[in-house]
Chain A
């Protein structure tokens, strides 16, 4: 089973709200990723977690705060977002950061009003 699940599917939030995106995988993968994808563009890497520790932060603004509570779960906490942050947020996982095959979830469509 190569399934990565994400909730919610859609999220609309105001610029003063606080919300969280959730990602879960049960493949025993030890690396998990957050990507941001704008319309008609490729995914852009935001964060990488390896063995539940943050290993890569691609200079993402602090209004995005990742968290990895355990090896199966990945959260992205959102606060004081801007309208330009509206995008599809994708979670992915791989067996390890040294193993290339990344499996993506269906994404959360975020709209910031």
Chain B
């Protein structure tokens, strides 16, 4: 119940394309869903986050889509760039509790 399942494990996208990463959860008590971006040898950086009272949140080229009934959320990267090549982690948490991370998706964007 505390797991967050993330897919795909790896993703190859051409420059200018749309990258889509999906996550699913079981615990309906989760109330915060962030996405982290991590470059090799660096710490994860908070990219964008959403709460379950909102179905979509957009920040620049990054959009989170949230489906409460399906218990799924996804990250869409529009106009993907080579500089977006990184590992992306979804996560979920309950107020006053720890972050539960997904297993990660390695994104490669080719020119």
Q: Do A and B come from one complex?
A: yes
**A101 & B46 in contact (Cβ 8 Å cutoff):** yes
Give chain B residues whose Cβ lies under 8 Å from the Cβ of A97.
96
Give chain A residues whose Cβ lies under 8 Å from the Cβ of B98.
45, 48, 56
Give 17 A-B pairs besides A106-B41, A106-B42 with Cβ atoms closer than 8 angstroms: A40-B87, A41-B103, A42-B103, A42-B104, A45-B98, A90-B44, A92-B43, A100-B32, A100-B34, A100-B49, A100-B95, A101-B46, A102-B99, A104-B44, A104-B45, A106-B43, A107-B41
What is the predominant secondary structure among interface residues of chain A facing chain B? loop
Interface size on A, residues (CB 8 A): 22
In the assembled complex, 24 residue pairs joining A and B whose CB atoms fall closer than 8 Å, in A order, are A4-B43, A6-B43, A40-B104, A41-B103, A42-B102, A42-B104, A43-B44, A43-B101, A45-B98, A56-B98, A90-B43, A92-B43, A98-B95, A98-B96, A100-B93, A100-B99, A101-B34, A102-B99, A104-B36, A104-B43, A104-B46, A106-B41, A106-B42, A107-B41
